[in-house]
Amino acid sequence: MTRFALTIEFDGTPFMGLQRQPHGPSVQQSIEDAMRAVTGEEAALFSAGRTDTGVHALAMRSHVDIEKAIEPFRLMEALNAHLRPDPIAVLACEVVGEDWHARFSCTGRRYVYKIANRRAPLTLEKNRLWQVAPPLDAEAMHRAAQALVGRHDFTTFRSAHCQAKDPVKTLDRLDVELAKKEWGDEIHIHAQARSFLHHQVRSMVGCLKLVGQGTWSEKQIGEALEARDRHALGLNAPPHGLYFVEAIY
């Protein structure tokens, strides 16, 4: 039995999420189906994180155990051939030790949320950014975001369906950057932590958007955090602007 580590890129638009779902297509199902076609085996895919419907990944790390003798490059090429036309690509494939686990060996996860701050409709990047028409103050958003960095009870920013046992998480980074574009700016929110609660990044982004447009004051972010109450949440950002960027080991 050989354990292969995969680095996967995908467009989450047509999927119910990364994890296999009983009620719709998933990234995991597509990869496991491709794995079966290549190896003839029922191999399970384990990943560093989960993603919601419509969330994308630039470099998700996953692993799979296979009995068939096959070189990593050949496995990667064969999987990509069988994954077509699904918007999933295996970017890298390598052999790892049996003690390496895509999820449990991971010590950090990094996401970026992208906002298109313009009035004109999105065409080329539809379903890949959250379009917000009113001008946003990225500097105010960044200042407000720093109240969330560190170890806190993130109940306010947690989905009601979150299955995590503990709402306390340590947020290592939450930076808001303005990316100047010729036709409308983009705002990128970078988040990093060992692990996140369900909807945590999207909930933080939604409230920061309220700060950026002046609906909330900067101090209201800290007040929402201290409330430890989902009803104190101002807004949950849509999924399609969110990208899983990196799993850290």
The per-residue pLDDT for range 192-218, each reduced to its tens digit, is 999 999 999 999 999 999 999 999 999
At what angle are helices 219-227 and 200-212 packed, to 10 degrees? 150
pLDDT-derived band at 182, boundaries 50, 70, 90: confident
Instruction: Domains for the chain: give ranges and CATH numbers.
Output: 2-96 (3.30.70.580), 108-248 (3.30.70.660)
Which of these, 167, 190, 191, lies nearest to 179 by C-alpha position?
Answer: 190
Neighbour-count burial of 119, counting CB atoms closer than 10 A to its CB (0-12 exposed, 13-18 middle, 19+ buried): exposed
Tens of pLDDT, residue by residue over 127-159, are 999 999 999 999 999 999 999 999 999 999 999
For the chain, what is the mean pLDDT? 97
Give the chain's count of helices (H) and strands (E).
5, 10
**Mean pLDDT across 84-103:** 98
What is the rounded distance in angstroms from the CA atom of residue 104 to the CA atom of residue 3? 15
Residue type, 48: A
- Number of Cβ within 10 Å of residue 224's Cβ equals 23
Q: Residue 161's pLDDT is what?
A: 87
Distance of alpha carbon 18 from its chain centroid, rounded?
A: 10
Q: Give the residue numbers marked as catalytic.
A: 52
168-179 vs 88-96, strand pairing mode: unpaired
pLDDT score of 132: 98
Nearest to 198 by CA among 164, 248, 245, 151: 164
User: In this structure, are residues 247 and 61 in contact, taking their beta carbons and an 8 Å threshold?
Assistant: yes
Between CA 167 and CA 15 the distance in angstroms is 27
Residue 163: pLDDT above 90?
no
Residue 183: what pLDDT?
85
pLDDT at position 184 is: 87
Give residue for tokens 């850290």: 248
Say if residues 62 and 71 touch (Cβ distance below 8 Å): no
Q: Is the pLDDT of residue 103 over 90?
A: yes
At 43-78, the pLDDT tens digits run: 999 999 999 999 999 999 999 999 999 999 999 999
